[in-house]
Structure 1
Amino acid sequence: MTAPFAPPPAEVIAADVARALAEDLGSGDVTASLLPDAADSAYLLCKEDAVVCGRPWFDACHRALDPDVRIDWRVAEGDRVAKGTVLALLQGRSRALVSAERASLNFLQTLSGTATTTAAYVDAVRGTGAKILDTRKTIPGLRQAQKYAVRVGGGVNHRIGLFDAVMLKENHVRAAGSLTAAIRAARQMHPQLPLIVEVETIAQLEEALHEGCDRILIDDFDAATRREAVRIAANPPSNRRIPLEVSGGVDMQTLRSIAEDGVDCISIGGLTKHVRAIDLSLKLGPPPA
Structure 2
Amino acid sequence: MTFGIEGFDLDAFVAATLAEDMGEGGDVTSAAVIPANARFEAVMDSRDAITVCGLEIAAAFFRRMDAQATIELLVADGDRVAAGTALMRITGNARALLTAERAALNTVQHLSGIATLTAAYVDAIAGSGATLLDTRKTIPGLRRLEKYATRTGGARNHRMGLWDAAMIKDNHVAVAGGVGPAAALAKAAGIATIIVEVDRIDQIEPAIVAGATHLLLDNMAPDVLRDAVAFVDGRVPTEASGGVTLDTIGAVARTGVCYVSVGRITQSAPAADIGLDFAEL
The residue number in structure 2 matching 1:86 is: 86
Q: Which residue of 1 aligns with 2:96?
A: 96
Verify: 1:47 aligned to 2:47, yes or no: yes
Amino acid at match of 1:177: G
Q: Which runs of 4+ in 1 moved over 4 A?
A: none
Which sits farther off after the overlay, 131-140 or 32-41? 32-41
Quick one: which amino acid aligns to residue 232 of structure 1? F
In the other structure, the counterpart of 2:223 is 224
**Distance in 2 between residues matched to 1:76 and 1:30, nearest whole Å:** 33
Scaled by the length of structure 1, the TM-score of the pair is 0.91
Write out per-residue CA displacement over residues 23-50 of structure 1, whole angstroms, 9 at most, x where no aligned residue: 2111200001020122221111111100
Q: Aligned to 1:256, which of 250, 254, 257? A: 250
Aligned-partner SS, 1:31: helix
**Residue 157 (structure 1) aligns with:** 157
Give the match for residue 277 of structure 2.
283
> What is the match of residue 15 of structure 2?
18
> Equivalent residues in 2 for 1:195-206 (5 A)?
195-206=194-205
Gaps of 5+ in 1: 1-5, 236-240
Deviation of 1:184 (Å):
1.4
- Residue 249 of structure 1: CA displacement? 2.2
C-alpha contact 2:133 2:259 (8 A) present in aligned 1 = yes
Distance 1:247 1:10 in 2: 27
**Contact 1:13-1:56 at 8 Å conserved across structures:** no
Q: 1:30: which partner in 2?
A: 28
TM-fit CA distance, 1:11: 5.4
Q: How far apart are the structure 2 equivalents of 1:132 and 1:101?
A: 33
- Report the alpha carbon displacement of residue 284 of structure 1 after superposing the two structures with TM: 2.2
Q: Tell me the CA shift for residue 126 of structure 1.
A: 0.5
Q: CA deviation at 1:286?
A: 4.3
| RMSD value, Cα | 1.6
**In the alignment, which residue of structure 1 is the partner of 2:260?**
266
- State whether residues 61 and 104 of structure 2, in contact with CA within 8 Å, keep that contact through their aligned partners in structure 1: yes
- SS of residue matched to 2:10: helix
SS in 1 for 2:18: helix
Unpaired runs of at least 5, structure 2 = none
Cα distance in 1, alignment partners of residues 94 and 7 from structure 2: 26
What is the distance in 1 between the residues matched to 2:251 and 2:263?
18
Are the counterparts in 2 of residues 77 and 152 from structure 1 also a CA contact under 8 Å? yes
Q: Shift of residue 10 of structure 1?
A: 8.1
> For the residues of structure 2 that align with 1:222 and 1:140, how far apart are their CA atoms?
31
Q: 1:274 to 1:56 in 2, by over 3 A?
A: same
> How many Å apart are 1:175 and its aligned residue?
1.2
- In 2: Cα distance, 1:12 partner to 1:66 partner: 20
Q: Tell me: CA distance 1:11–1:149, structure 2 relative to 1, closer, same or farther (3 Å).
A: closer
Secondary structure of 1:246 counterpart: strand
Displacement of 1:56 in angstroms is 2.4
Residue 134 (structure 1) aligned with residue 128 (structure 2): no
Conservation of the 8 A alpha-carbon contact between 2:51 and 2:80? yes
Give the Cα separation in 1 of the matches to 2:43 and 2:52. Answer: 15
In structure 1, distance between residues paired with 2:269 and 2:15: 22
Q: Is the 8 A contact 1:54 1:108 kept in 2?
A: yes
CA contact (8 A) 1:150 1:156 kept: yes
Report what 2:184 is aligned to: 184
Contact 1:53–1:152 (Cα < 8 Å) also in 2: yes
